[in-house]
């Protein structure tokens, strides 16, 4: 038995499947539509209609697999140099499946004419998904394809290079979306790419900023300060928050002091005075926040010493009796 590669075996197998006649296309397409468009849904329709629809869909797909191969071999020469032919054929087969499920024979068109559009959409969608390392929206892929034709047309009409505003208007998007399209159209390269004849890689020439431990602590400290400032600003009134947001550029818009005052409906001097008052208020709130955060240190009371009771006796309770006569007194003095 002769050995075959995967692609040659696949082509040999689908080449043995007979093509459908126009009458068979109408018959199979009608059975598929009766199943998929049933009022109870594809899973809720009667079992007989569902089985006939599934068999008709499978036969319809198998009989038109060579149409996908024909499209890839005829219209995808450039893509075949960058991607595997098997992957492109698989993407085209997904378009065949969608075309079979959407094909309505009552409109009077041949299936090949209808399926070509779905095959092209499926292949283009697969390319958009796998062509970039970073995925971007499918709508942006379609808009990016309009930029170069619009630029060439405007160059012919204007006799010069068009501006960003003119290109955005020609593509039909806003200036913000157009700037995002330009960012998405930038090529993405690998860090292992060789940039010179000596074998130098791209990753070796890119500056890397590794933060030291002290820099990381400083960055975390600044982040905590920013969070505390944001918390303090949220406690102010809405008018004061608007003044600080506009004056400090917290909304991401850079303005001069005169433009800031005009946006707030104030004079520049009034804005300076309001900022000074708010800064003093925030400074006082920050001090209060620190005082509240510091735990109060209470000095424990000194323990009370147990004093020894003093021994007190009355004169009549003395251990030595007091002499009562002169003779006893003289005798007591001599003894002492």
- The domains located in the chain, with CATH, are 6-131 (1.20.120.1810), 147-184 (no CATH), 221-292 (1.10.10)
Q: Provide the pLDDT confidence category of residue 329 given band limits of 50, 70 and 90.
A: low
pLDDT per residue as tens digits for the range 147-159:
888 889 989 998 8
Query: CA 277, CA 236: separation in Å to the nearest integer?
Result: 12
Cβ contact 150:191 at 8 Å: no
User: 194 forms bridges with which residues in the sheet?
Assistant: 201
Residue 60 has pLDDT above 90, yes or no: yes
DSSP 8-state assignment for residue 41:
-
Cβ contact 33:104 at 8 Å: yes
Residue 239 has pLDDT above 80, yes or no: yes
**Range from 33-47, 56-70, 165-179, 280-294 carrying the lowest mean pLDDT:** 280-294
Cβ contact 266:274 at 8 Å: yes
Q: Provide the pLDDT confidence category of residue 100 given band limits of 50, 70 and 90.
A: very high
User: CA-CA distances (angstroms) from residue 183 to 91, 166, 177, 214?
Assistant: 28, 18, 10, 35
User: CA-CA distances (angstroms) from residue 275 to 182, 238, 284?
Assistant: 40, 14, 14
Please choose, from the candidates 18, 22, 20, the residue with its C-alpha nearest in 3D space to the C-alpha of residue 110: 22
């Amino acid at each position: 038995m002769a050995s075959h590669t995967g692609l040659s075996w696949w082509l040999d197998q689908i080449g043995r499947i007979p093509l459908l006649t126009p009458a068979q296309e109408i018959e199979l397409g009608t059975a598929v539509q009766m199943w998929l468009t049933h009022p109870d849904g594809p899973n809720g329709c009667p079992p007989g209609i569902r089985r006939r629809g599934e068999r008709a869909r499978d036969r319809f797909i198998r009989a038109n697999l060579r149409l996908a191969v024909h499209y890839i071999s005829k219209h995808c020469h450039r893509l075949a140099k960058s991607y595997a032919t098997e992957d492109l054929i698989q993407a085209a087969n997904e378009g065949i499946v969608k075309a079979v499920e959407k094909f309505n024979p009552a409109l009077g068109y041949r299936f090949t004419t209808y399926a070509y559009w779905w095959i092209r959409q499926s292949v283009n969608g697969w390319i958009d998904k796998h062509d970039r390392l970073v995925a971007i929206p499918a709508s942006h892929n379609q808009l990016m394809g309009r930029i170069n034709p619009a630029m060439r047309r405007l160059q012919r009409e204007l006799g010069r290079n068009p501006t960003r505003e003119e290109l955005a208007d020609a593509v039909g998007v806003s200036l913000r979306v157009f700037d995002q399209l330009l960012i998405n159209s930038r090529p993405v390269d690998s860090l292992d790419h060789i940039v010179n004849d000596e074998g130098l890689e791209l990753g070796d020439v890119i500056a890397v900023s590794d933060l030291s431990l002290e820099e990381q602590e400083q960055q975390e400290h600044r982040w905590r300060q920013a969070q505390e400032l944001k918390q303090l600003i949220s406690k102010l009134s809405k008018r004061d928050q608007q003044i600080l947001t506009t004056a400090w550029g917290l909304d991401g818009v850079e303005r001069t002091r005169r433009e800031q005052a005009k946006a707030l409906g104030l004079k520049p001097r009034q804005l300076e005075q309001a900022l000074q008052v708010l800064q003093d208020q925030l400074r006082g709130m920050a001090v209060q926040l620190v005082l509240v955060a510091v735990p109060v240190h209470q000095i424990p009371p000194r323990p009370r010493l147990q004093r020894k009771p003093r021994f007190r006796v009355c004169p009549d309770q003395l251990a030595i009796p007091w002499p009562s006569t002169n003779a006893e007194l003289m005798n007591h003095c001599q003894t002492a």
